[in-house]
Amino acid sequence: MVEVLAKNQSPMASLYPFKSNFLKIGDQRYHYLDEGQGEVILMLHGNPTWSFYYRNLVRTLKKDYRIIVPDHMGCGLSDKPQEYAYTLDTHISNLLVLIHKLQLTQVNLMVHDWGGAIGFGLATKRPELIKKIMIMNTAAFLSPHIPRRIAFCRTKIGAFLVQAMNAFAWPATFMTTTKPMTSLVKEGYLLPYDSFANRIAVRRFVEDIPMTPKDQSYETILDIESKLPLLDMPKLILWGGADFCFNDKFYKKWLEIYPEAEAHYFKDVGHYVLEDALTECLPLIKKFLRG
């Protein structure tokens, strides 16, 4: 996959024209983008996306900023080990290794979906690193709310379908937006998840959603949630109101935690905010970063 994109041997290279960088963590390769120069923006994706989700922002913002976008282990162009601790703690730890490797001293943090829990895990561990935070349809706190279709994916049958039949990444190409994706964009989202083995992290992310004390990442998210009010840096919330997963309950929770945040609510925008509302979000992001 990496070689095809790098050599422009695929139409996908026109959408994702970036140099691939790799960091060895243990025996695994951790893929990340490092584009542009200047003040750093660290962008964290969710499940079942990858750095491809931020492609348009990277192309635009790298003119004025240094953009770092990792693919969480098991996602995107990172390795996809079959026997691996795909937990919130592990993803946060990998991110800290990357930050140490790149010698980053301060970043503007942008999070979406699972990137929220991972990113706020970083922020609550190392608040001195974070200059500003941009939040899109995510959570970093406990919630009893989970859509039935995602709850089903946590069952044995559902987990099998997610990995064997691509019953999570594939539906996401038409259930996460209100504006239809082009066939090429859909192909881009699905590119890394083209086999049973390559969908291991997609399944494990769903299984790792912390709902009860029995879940492995429950204590981790509980600790993160307790420290959220301590983060006093500027925050921008860009929220898609037509998200079936991270619905208005999550949006209102963020406003309760951060009433001082600059918040923009887009009623007819789906979960993949940057697919539905890039033109609306981009000037708001630029203005917020300029401060």
CATH number of the domain that residue 76 is part of:
3.40.50.1820
What pLDDT is stored for residue 147 in this prediction?
Answer: 83
pLDDT reported for residue 4: 46
Query: Greatest CA span in the chain, whole angstroms?
Result: 48
How high is the pLDDT of residue 117? 98
Strand spans (E) along the chain? 21-25, 28-35, 40-44, 66-70, 107-113, 130-138, 235-240, 262-266
Q: How many domains does the chain have?
A: 1
The Cα 190–Cα 176 span in angstroms is 14
Q: Say what the pLDDT of residue 159 is.
A: 93
Q: What does the block give as tokens for 221? A: 């998210």
Q: How far apart are CA 247 and CA 69, in angstroms?
A: 25
Predicted local confidence at residue 189, as pLDDT:
97
Measured from the Cβ of residue 161, the count of other Cβ atoms closer than 10 Å reads 16
Q: What is the pLDDT of residue 37?
A: 98
The amino acid occupying position 273 is V
Could you check whether the bond before residue 48 is cis, i.e. omega within 30 degrees of 0?
yes
* DSSP 8-state secondary structure symbol assigned to residue 112: E
Tokens of 173: 């190409």
Phi, psi of 58 (to 5 degrees): -60, -45
Q: What is the pLDDT of residues 205-249, one digit of tens each?
A: 999 999 999 999 999 999 999 999 999 999 999 999 999 999 999
Q: Rounded to an integer, what distance in angstroms lies between the CA atom of residue 74 and that of residue 198?
A: 7
Q: Give the structural domain span for 146.
A: 2-290
pLDDT attached to residue 1: 56
Cross-sheet strand order for the sheet of 235-240? 21-25, 28-35, 66-70, 40-44, 107-113, 130-138, 235-240, 262-266
Determine the pLDDT at residue 7: 47
Residues in the chain where the model's pLDDT stays below 50: 4, 6-8
Cα separation of 97 and 99, whole Å? Answer: 5
